[in-house]
Amino acid sequence: MRELETLRELSARIGGNPLLVQASSGNTSIKVDDVLWIKASGKWLIHAEDDDFLVSVKLLKARRCLREDTAISETETKSPGTRGASIETAMHAVLPQKVVVHVHSVNTIAWAVREDGPRQLSARLTGLPWQWIPYTPSGTSLARKIDYALRCFPQTSVLVLGNHGLVVCGNSCRSTEQLLNEVEQRLAVEPRTAPEPKYPQLMQTLSASAWSLPPCEGVHALATDHISRRILSGGVLYPCQAIFLPEIVNMLASSVSFQERCGQRGYLGQPALLVIEDHGVLAGKHMTRAEEEMLVGLVNVVQRIDASAPVRYLTASELTHVLSLESENYRQTADINCHAKGSDAL
Ligand SMILES: [Zn+2]
């Protein structure tokens, strides 16, 4: 089906842009007749050519499930062993446009983590049919909030999700991509430059440990840029940070000693990350491809948050919800997928 091919091409282009998505984040869909074709759970957009990238869901049934508060199932078309539909299927189903693209755009998130986000964005997005959706957990809660917002302004085609990301919709892949590019242009922020890492000191630590240099030089900004350190030590900015990089906040707290930082462990008990103030960042040798991409995404976000911005962090109850079993499954799926793909994701 040509329309599905066009969606795959668009998805792969988006997936290849680290400023738009990282690892398995983001999702795309297209409605054809009464069927919603959507990215399968845990798939990476950059691998949109894979046979199991898309799953189909009966659109009317998906909307009915949301109304009746029952799980949306793709089982009618799902063969054993295939993946389920994206966690955001309900959101895609309630949006009336043919094509829906959800991304974790670093430019958008840099605005979406601000208390004054709606005010800041109203000037930048003026003339576009956009709405701000305050932070709501992914899944049916988010879909309901968007459904409600659409009742007031049905023509909405740009949604900025507080502490989360961006949704753009259109009646073709082409028009949706054009709108995404326009929003990206309007929300673009020049990242702060950070002092250079101190490689001699880093190499000293490196030689006697299980650490390695991070995948991208820009990551050192976490340690060398005091504004970024301050912002990140204040709390968790968005769900993917909580899921993939849970140790960052503690690591940047000034009360944590160097020895304690060396002892920080990732979710599988392996060293994940070491931030050495003013010197740079070292990555644990067991850091997954998904964690690497999320780390680069986090640096790209935080370097775009103004020093004076009033940052809105996830609350304790929001974090608890994010770190529920469902989120753990989400990460494991992403990691399995990542290992299956090797190191060619970027
Ligand atoms: Zn998302």
Alpha-carbon gap, residue 127 to 33, rounded angstroms: 31
Q: Note residues around ion ligand 1 (Cβ under 5 angstroms).
A: 165
For residue 247, the model assigns a pLDDT of 78
CA atoms within 13 A of residue 136's CA, in its CB half-sphere: 20
Alpha-carbon gap, residue 322 to 37, rounded angstroms: 26
For residue 306, the model assigns a pLDDT of 97
Q: If you search the block for the tokens 């020093």, which residue do you land on?
A: 307
Question: What are the residues whose beta carbons fall under 8 Å from the beta carbon of 200, sequence distance 6 or more?
Answer: none
Q: 113 CA to middle of ligand 1, Å?
A: 14
Tokens of residue 77, six digits: 């078309």
Q: 240 CA to middle of ligand 1, Å?
A: 8
For residue 260, the model assigns a pLDDT of 58
Give mean pLDDT in consecutive 10-residue pieces for the chain, a chain of 346 residues.
Answer: 95 98 96 95 93 92 84 56 80 97 98 98 97 95 94 96 98 98 98 89 72 87 93 94 83 59 51 80 85 94 98 96 66 45 26
Q: 96 CA to middle of ligand 1, Å?
A: 19
- Are 247 and 169 in contact, with CB atoms under 8 Å apart? no
Question: What are the residues whose beta carbons fall under 8 Å from the beta carbon of 224, sequence distance 6 or more?
Answer: 194, 195, 196, 197, 198, 278, 279, 280
Q: 200 CA to middle of ligand 1, Å?
A: 39
Provide the 3-class DSSP secondary structure of residue 40. Answer: strand
CA atoms within 13 A of residue 22's CA, in its CB half-sphere: 28
Q: 134 CA to middle of ligand 1, Å?
A: 13
Q: 86 CA to middle of ligand 1, Å?
A: 10
Q: If you search the block for the tokens 């190499």, which residue do you land on?
A: 203
For residue 271, the model assigns a pLDDT of 53
Alpha-carbon gap, residue 243 to 326, rounded angstroms: 11
First to last CA, the chain: 27
Q: 216 CA to middle of ligand 1, Å?
A: 23
Neighbours of 289 (CB within 10 A): 21
For residue 258, the model assigns a pLDDT of 56
The continuous run of DSSP H or E covering 57 comes out as strand 54-58
- Are 157 and 129 in contact, with CB atoms under 8 Å apart? yes
Q: 337 CA to middle of ligand 1, Å?
A: 17
For residue 337, the model assigns a pLDDT of 45
Q: 167 CA to middle of ligand 1, Å?
A: 9
Alpha-carbon gap, residue 97 to 30, rounded angstroms: 9
For residue 122, the model assigns a pLDDT of 96
Tokens of residue 120, six digits: 């800041």
Task: Kindly list the structural domains of the chain, giving each domain's residue range(s) and its CATH number in brackets, ordered by start.
Answer: 2-187 (3.40.225.10), 199-341 (no CATH)
For residue 307, the model assigns a pLDDT of 97
Q: 204 CA to middle of ligand 1, Å?
A: 39
- Are 101 and 14 in contact, with CB atoms under 8 Å apart? yes
Tokens of residue 22, six digits: 């990282």
Question: What are the residues whose beta carbons fall under 8 Å from the beta carbon of 11, sequence distance 6 or more?
Answer: 28, 39, 45, 48, 53
For residue 93, the model assigns a pLDDT of 95
The burial class, CB within 10 Å (0-12 / 13-18 / 19+), for 16 is middle
Q: If you search the block for the tokens 């644990």, which residue do you land on?
A: 284
**Beta partners for residue 170, in sequence order:** 99
DSSP code for 307: T
For residue 186, the model assigns a pLDDT of 98
Neighbours of 344 (CB within 10 A): 8
- Are 201 and 276 in contact, with CB atoms under 8 Å apart? yes
Extended beta strands in 228-279, E state = 273-276
Residue at 129: amino acid letter:
P
For residue 153, the model assigns a pLDDT of 94
For residue 201, the model assigns a pLDDT of 80
* This model's pTM is above 0.95: no
Closest Cα to residue 27, out of 38, 19, 12, 16?
38
Inter-axis angle of helices 289-302 and 226-233, to 10 degrees?
Answer: 110
Alpha-carbon gap, residue 296 to 213, rounded angstroms: 13
